[in-house]
Structure 1
Amino acid sequence: MEKIKMTTPLVEMDGDEMTRILWQMIKDELILPFVELKSEYYDLGLPNRDATGDQVTMDAALANKKYGVSVKCATITPNAQRMTEYNLHEMWKSPNGTIRAVLDGTVFRAPILINCIKPVVKNWKKPITIARHAYGDVYKGTEFRIPGPGKAELVFTGEDGTEMRQTVYDFECPGVLQGQYNKDTSIASFARSCFNYALSTKQDLWFATKDTISKKYDHTFKDIFAEIYEAEYKEKFEAAGIEYFYTLIDDAVARVIRSEGGFI
């Protein structure tokens, strides 16, 4: 049998522990006998990330951006225990976070349903795809361990010198503090990715945040999605016979559990 030839390289991102073994088995048994595999290989195993100062993760991300397709195996994001276990130089950040930032932060997790594995929720009959924005936010968060009493403030200084200042909390004891951010440009890119993915798969798109609590951060996501939908995608969705709607995350969970699936 003649093997299938590839024109564009596949970016291989090898991972940690059992994923290395599983990916090798997949290649040996399901790919290499049938395909002349053309790939660029990057070892994202924790020892190699440490040895390269995590440069290999950035190189892999840029290769993915260049070629447009990759396979990534599961990787370890180290904690204090892993620091000791692997004798690491640094507590390296999530490889997924680095890769998503280079690719502008959008992730779609689409399940493959097979008859021999049944969903736990009995009425789920179609795949449910999870779209997730992963730029900035907790992945790029700035954290402090607060040693004792004091005032924590959130401060923004504009290029023109204007200043915005808000007290986060007056600490009366030790605690923790975290600052997060996001950008309108990245949120807009995420929105268009979601709308385009829904159109390409002919699936409804549900969007949910907790804007009742996060009246600036989450509400900005809600507003940008609504603006882009009305201006660029409403007519396309109507022509395709699919729906976009927004709801609170609490309601979205209830709807998902009651549904048959088949949406993003």
Structure 2
Amino acid sequence: MEKIRMTTPLVEMDGDEMTRILWRMIKEELLEPFVELKCEYYDLGLEHRDATRDQVTMDAALANKKYGVSVKCATITPNAQRMTEYSLHEMWKSPNGTIRAVLDGTVFRAPILIDCIKPVVKNWKKPITIARHAYGDVYRGTEFRIPGPGKAELLFTGADGAELRETVYEFECPGILQGTYNKDTSIASFARSCFNYALATKQDLWFSTKDTISKKYDHTFKDIFADIFETEYKEAFAAAGIEYFYTLIDDAVARVIRSEGGFIWACKNYDGDVMSDMVSTAFGSLAMMTSVLVSPDGCYEYEAAHGTVTRHYYRYLKGEATSTNPMATVFAWTGALAKRGEMDGNAELQDFAKTLEAACLETLESGVMTKDLCGLAEGITPTPVTSEEFIKAIRRNLEAKLGA
């Protein structure tokens, strides 16, 4: 068959460790034989980020703003151990955090569902989408160790020189201190992204923080959401027959567990990070979770919700076969290709993305799956396979569907 052509480049952001290996396999087996990929490539592997003093991450983010759609491999956010392992010049910040700050978007994460894997929460019947604010908070925080007794203060100096000052704590011993921030403009973008996504998908929207404790920080999130909903979205939600409501995050957790699913749960940055892992694991596996960053000006970044699978990578380096689940990474590619096709009016590319997703799901439903899913499957006798075998099985199904 003739390869499908692309008209506008897709921004491709390569990554680290085992997911980098899977990235190459997916391209070679599932994409390049069928699509004439047109990509602007950026290597966000930790070594190259260090060599460019992380400029490559900023360049990739700006390229996303230019072209509108990107696909990103999982990357390492270095800690002290990684500093030594990779001989880094600096403990670079999270690439995801940098990209999210540039795009000022919201991350929407939803599980990939198959019939043979039932949610751990037995009453969940429909997917739960986590909408995660993708800016500020602890991901852009400033922190340090307190060496001994002394007074910690929070100080703001306005452009006019006026000061706001509050004592955080009078330390009587060593401790730790952290300062976090957010912006009204980013919170407003978060709110509008959530309201727009809810209307587009015809799903109820829940939003939760802890404003009873954080009476200024979290309460500002609550107020901005409420003001924007009342003035811009209330009538549209009523016409669509969907609901928006706010509740405390501890109450939201209880409601989510008791629910049937089928709604969007909007969370602040850290809350969304944790809750998306909880939801994906309860539905089956973190490797079965889609993730897309949507910016207010219509830019999209698709990625896997999980990390770089370090443990499998070390086994791979020893020459051992691994059974790493590539589904989230495959769906990052299909999501990006489908969106690129939609934005370019390229129906062939959109159809290919849907067909590849269907081939993946049929492969799993047939019982061919990586080891992480075998213990979860019900009603079938699963066949555990390596990562490479799984991808090749998807290709056979894909070729059959395409008549290739």
**TM-score by structure 2 length?**
0.64
Against the structure 1 CA distance between its residues 89 and 218, is the aligned structure 2 distance closer, same or farther, given a 3 Å change threshold? same
Aligned to 2:194: 194
Matches within 5 A, 1:14-25: 14-25=14-25
Aligned to 2:367: none
- Name the SS of the counterpart of 2:111 in structure 1: coil
* Runs (4+) off by over 4 Å: none
Aligned to 1:140: 140
Deviation of residue 160 (structure 1)? 2.2
Greater RCO, 1 or 2 (C-alpha within 8 Å, sep 6+): 2
Aligned to 2:11: 11
Deviation of residue 118 (structure 1)? 2.5
Deviates further, 216-225 or 57-66:
57-66
Deviations 1:198-235 (A, max 9, x none): 11111110000000110000000000000000000000
Matches within 5 A, 1:1-264: 1-264=1-264
Uncovered stretches (5+) of structure 1, i.e. residues with no partner: none
Uncovered stretches (5+) of structure 2, i.e. residues with no partner: 265-404
Indicate if the aligned counterparts of 2:187 and 2:224 stay in contact, CA closer than 8 A.
Answer: yes
Aligned to 2:388: none
- Distance, in Å, in 1 between the alignment partners of 2:94 and 2:224 is 27
Identical aligned residues as a percent: 90
Deviation of residue 69 (structure 1)? 1.1
- Distance, in Å, in 1 between the alignment partners of 2:78 and 2:195 is 34
Deviates further, 222-231 or 127-136:
127-136
Deviations 1:154-193 (A, max 9, x none): 1112222322111000000111111111110110011000
- Distance, in Å, in 1 between the alignment partners of 2:31 and 2:116 is 23
- Distance, in Å, in 2 between the alignment partners of 1:226 and 1:91 is 38
Deviations 1:91-127 (A, max 9, x none): 1110010000001042111222122332221221211
- Name the SS of the counterpart of 2:112 in structure 1: coil
- Distance, in Å, in 2 between the alignment partners of 1:23 and 1:219 is 41
- Tell me which protein shows more helix as a share of its residues: 2
Deviation of residue 35 (structure 1)? 1.2
- Distance, in Å, in 2 between the alignment partners of 1:223 and 1:52 is 41
- Distance, in Å, in 1 between the alignment partners of 2:7 and 2:199 is 27
Deviation of residue 85 (structure 1)? 0.7
**TM-score by structure 1 length?**
0.97
The letter for the 2-side match of 1:219 is: H
Deviation of residue 134 (structure 1)? 2.4
- Distance, in Å, in 1 between the alignment partners of 2:144 and 2:212 is 27
Deviations 1:64-96 (A, max 9, x none): 111111111111111111111111111111001
Indicate if the aligned counterparts of 2:105 and 2:193 stay in contact, CA closer than 8 A.
Answer: no
- Distance, in Å, in 2 between the alignment partners of 1:33 and 1:113 is 27
CA RMSD of aligned residues (A): 1.1
